[in-house]
Copies of this chain bind each other. A is one copy, B any other.
Amino acid sequence: MFKFTYDIPTRIYFGGDQLSNLGPELKKFGKRVLLCYGGGSIKRNGLYDKIKAEIEKAGLELFELGGIEPNPRVTSVQRGAQICKDENIDVLLAVGGGSVIDCTKFVGAARFYDGDPWDLVIRKAPITDCLPIVTVLTLAATGSEMDCGGVITNLKTNDKIGMGSPLMRPKVSFLDPANTFTVSSYQTACGSADIFSHLVETYFNDKGSMYMLDTFMEGMMKTVVKYAPVAVEHPKDEEARANLMWTSSWAINDFVSSCQSCAWSCHPMEHQLSAYYDITHGLGLAILTPRWMRYVLDESTAERFRNFAVAVFGISPDLPPMDAAKAGIIEVERFLFEDLGLTRTLTELGIDRTHFSEMAKKACEAKGGKVLKGYKHLSPEDIEKIYEMCL
């Protein structure tokens, strides 16, 4: 708890009118830039043209990897890595949300690997190097703009697996809240649920935490609870967008976790949901999180849940711990399903129990064990019960 190495050197250009720094930053790493992006929204909203102009102004050569999917596929990683090899790319520029940045990270790593990139995701082969990565963020959610990890989907095997390496941490990221003004209310809500979940996963861990970092996490959870509904309602509210964006980065950049990996609970369960049903990651997390909270709340965890409820939702510290804890979970539900308007059940998404048993096993296996060793250890049977609670 009190021993760790802090090493988060990503440079951030926050706010508007910062793109003039893009060319010079890219140039530090070389001349040949691979621009990675998704379904083309950046072409519709003008960001693509602005970025292209900066790249041209800096005299750099532009190559493109478009069409990266939400829940990005290993096939896109393969496609990108091939371009890097064929065109001798020097630096990667990811423009998009977490999916685009995650994919770009693995493109950068796969550039230095001759086999199937999926080997890197499933840890069959080690990540030995990575092209430098610069990002322009367009969605506050995954924190990929400042962290080491990424999540890749393999449709052939129905797998969605998270993996990371310090080599993949972006060197520079451009965070302009205005680039998220066009994000839909639904995606804003899902992204906010994702940020909130990162904090919940880190706050509730089995290794303990430093009080100072607890207060940071509580402050960030309060920030999401305060501003996510504002951004859903008023998409161009700069204050709300700025707070959500900067929180997305710090929720998961390894600072509040003291740069130590603590095992998560809801994310591994959700990855199975979106691998099987291709639902939005943040929505899956929103549905799972309060159920997981109810499932693991007991005498041994009530104190921690009480602290959470008091600090984040202003529940009275005078209530008995179990009552305060339950009141906090009700507030989480109110936030996710009422304030953000997210769908409350898997049933409403047309998902039934057909694959629950299989998914529960896979959630454990993806983390390399028979049991999910999170805040409370969860067996496949436990996980199946939590999925059932989501129906």
Chain A interfacial positions (CB closer than 8 Å to B): 2-7, 9, 11-18, 177, 210-216, 218-220, 222-223, 226-227, 238-239, 242-243, 246-247, 250, 258
Contact = CB atoms under 8 A, between A and B. Distances in A.
Contacts of A211: 223, 226-227, 239, 243
State the number of copies, please.
Answer: 2
A17 B5 contact: no
A60 B18 CA distance: 42
Nearest to A212: B223
Contacts of A4: 14-15
B18 A14 contact: no
Contacts of A227: 211
**Which label, helix, strand, loop or mixed, suits the secondary structure of the A interface?**
helix
Contact of A14 (B2, B15, B215, B250): B2
A3 B14 contact: yes
A220 B210 contact: no
A5 to B, nearest CB: 6
Contact of A212 (B11, B13, B246, B258): B246
A110 B238 CA distance: 43
Contacts of A11: 5-7, 9
Contact of A13 (B5, B177, B218, B219): B5
B14 A5 contact: yes
Contacts of A5: 11-14, 18
Q: Which 10 A-B pairs have the closest CB atoms?
A: A215-B219, A3-B15, A9-B9, A6-B12, A212-B223, A2-B242, A7-B11, A2-B15, A212-B243, A4-B14
Contact of A218 (B9, B17, B214, B215): B215
Kindly name the residue among A2, A7, A220, A238 whose own CB sees the greatest number of chain B CB atoms within 10 A: A2
Contacts of A14: 2-6, 258
A218 B214 CA distance: 12
Given A3-B17, A6-B12, A220 B212 contact: yes
A255 to B, nearest CB: 9
Contact of A219 (B7, B218, B258): B218
28 contacts: A2-B14, A2-B15, A2-B177, A2-B238, A2-B239, A2-B242, A3-B15, A5-B14, A5-B18, A6-B11, A6-B12, A7-B12, A9-B9, A9-B11, A14-B258, A211-B223, A211-B227, A211-B239, A211-B243, A212-B246, A213-B246, A214-B219, A215-B215, A215-B219, A215-B222, A215-B223, A216-B216, A216-B219
